[in-house]
């Protein structure tokens, strides 16, 4: 919600409270209670749309990338150490070319292509991968480190799909907010007319309604004070 919508949402909440506090003043099935009920439904809809706008996919993806970065770092660092007695091994497992997410994913894909079993692998390739994984495990990487790396990599692909879904949902939620705000203003106009009629001879209640249905003005930035006019020297 933007600031304008938030101020109207807050007004709807105050009107809802006024309706609950003064419900006994209105007959069951009255227009007033109907419009207060409509307003309550609109507020519930706004709460849901507001929550959908916030989402959480981006944060989840960031956490997954951090986990993958640690997985990759463990493999590339171990390969550099092993390269001292197995020249060329570090070249097979270079670290990411940069700190970008794209280069991290490329690096992870390279590691998996060299270590993870693939249905298309022939017997010799499978045996070579198994032997290479055993070398890393001998240097205290977990026995399932390749499986763990693959799971983290797959989770990021899923998170990207979730983020795209969140984006689509966010657009739909933003549209819903605008529609619900318009519907809420319609109910407010009905209620304002009814309250002025109902409380025409009850100034305290009418003032309370007018306070509840007042839309707060946006905060105004203070204007800078004008610079002092320099004093004129006498001729």
| DSSP code of residue 24 | G
pLDDT attached to residue 187: 95
- Which DSSP string corresponds to 127-153? HHHHHHHHHHHHTT--TTHHHHHHHHH
Percent of the chain residues topping a pLDDT of 90: 63
pLDDT at residue 104 greater than cutoff 50: yes
**202-222 per-position pLDDT tens digit:** 999 999 999 999 987 655 444
Q: Give the residue extent of every domain in the chain.
A: 3-56+169-212, 65-163
pLDDT attached to residue 56: 46
pLDDT attached to residue 57: 46
Whole-model pTM: value is 0.47
Taking residues 109-126, report their average pLDDT. Answer: 95
Confidence of residue 18 (pLDDT cuts 50, 70, 90): very high
More confident residue, 139 or 67: 139
Residue 170: partners with Cβ closer than 8 Å, 6 or more residues away: 52, 53, 55
Confidence of residue 124 (pLDDT cuts 50, 70, 90): very high
Residue 180: partners with Cβ closer than 8 Å, 6 or more residues away: 42, 45, 46, 49
Distance between CA 115 and CA 132 in Å, rounded?
7
Tokens of 123: 């017997």
Confidence of residue 19 (pLDDT cuts 50, 70, 90): very high
pLDDT attached to residue 232: 54
């Amino acid at each position: 919600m933007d600031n304008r919508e938030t101020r109207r949402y807050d007004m709807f909440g105050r009107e809802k409270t006024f309706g609950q506090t003064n419900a006994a003043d209105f007959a069951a099935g009255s227009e007033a209670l109907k419009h207060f009920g409509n307003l309550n439904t609109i507020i519930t809809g706004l709460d849901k749309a507001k929550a959908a706008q916030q989402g959480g996919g981006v944060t989840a993806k960031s956490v997954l990338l951090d986990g993958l970065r640690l997985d990759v770092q463990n493999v590339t660092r171990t390969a550099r150490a092993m390269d001292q007695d197995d020249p060329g091994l570090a070249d097979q497992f270079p670290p990411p070319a940069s700190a970008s997410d794209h280069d991290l994913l490329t690096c992870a894909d390279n590691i998996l292509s060299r270590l993870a079993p693939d249905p298309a692998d022939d017997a010799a390739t499978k045996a070579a991968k198994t032997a290479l994984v055993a070398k890393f495990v001998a240097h205290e990487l977990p026995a399932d480190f390749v499986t763990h790396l693959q799971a983290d990599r797959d989770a990021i692909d899923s998170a990207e799909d979730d983020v795209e879904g969140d984006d689509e949902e966010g657009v739909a939620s933003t549209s819903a907010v605008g529609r619900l705000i318009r519907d809420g203003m319609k109910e407010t106009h009905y209620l304002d007319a009814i309250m002025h009629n109902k409380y025409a001879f009850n100034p305290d209640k009418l003032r309370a309604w007018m306070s509840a249905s007042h839309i707060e003005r946006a905060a105004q930035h203070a204007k800078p004070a004008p610079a002092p006019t320099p004093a004129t020297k006498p001729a």
